Structure 1
């Protein structure tokens, strides 16, 4: 078993994800779309629009120097009115702000540990914590609430491939081959077995299909 794990680690290290922060500025803007001065950004990555040192919107990079504005609700307080400040020309946009923190969705302990070792530049938050965020099966909204609360930027799904996904948009930022078959007996590996593989008829193959159905590939 140790030899197998070593083989997987060696194979994966060729594809270590780089969780760098990317900064840019808005050079043109409309109500919903902005043009930025940096196209060295992965399509589907989310960022934050900064105006006068405050975050006023989320930004989804859609390619060709274009971003789509989205509501920023990370600090939403139901008791207070949410200020409506539109992005302006020269506002800064920061991508990958929380990408140094991630969550691993893996079928077993071996693949979980392997993924941790292959991406030592990411602070992986225990899947035990995420286990408290859903009841039956983890929905995208459950992942997004977890990422909002814990300030996590990426989710690493180990399925038929490794899919590193932006936690806000669920777009794939990177995918890498794996040289073993991922078999899910439960929703994902955690240090305590809270999950029953029979949830809503979910069997091992269904978990992989389910996760693949909720992640997106940028066109």
Structure 2
């Protein structure tokens, strides 16, 4: 059984599928994909020995050792140039995903699609993609077990891209669609920022810049969700 968020990540892989799953843990995603696509191949990358061994075991149990290679290494160092055409990174913070992409830039040649699922700080991921000429082609926001996850799908565009601050903050596709989960997330984020601002205003030395930033974001959120009762 695969989690709903990883099933959705898998849906965005395009044929022919030769992908690397970074931080693969049990290698559930590569196994799921290869069982459903008979010509798919995968590299499951894991930096820690425990998850690496579990990944190897999962691959063996599903009889997929000829199509899934489990490799130990940090981030994109587990792949060679032009070895894969797509990369998935799921279940990490946006800052860590950005670091993995930045440190592994030299390995991205020939990678046409990045499918990224940051647990937090999705804005940071979008900013990196825009700065490196990856165009966002799809997004998803899902609720699973009480947590909200965003999925960002991007393709190399090879020309300058320009997203507005609001697009980077909310997600260009999510902002257009405004699903019920989107509203749920941003109602919660509005309350969180309100609490933070009130706490900061109690400080002896006011962090003016931080307060201004949060108040700007609050105004954006109010505009987007229009404070209607959904």
Indicate the structure with greater strand content. Answer: 1
**Larger fraction in helix:** 2
TM-score (norm 2): 0.26
TM-score by length of 1: 0.27
Q: Which has the higher contact order (CA 8 A, sep 6+)?
A: 1
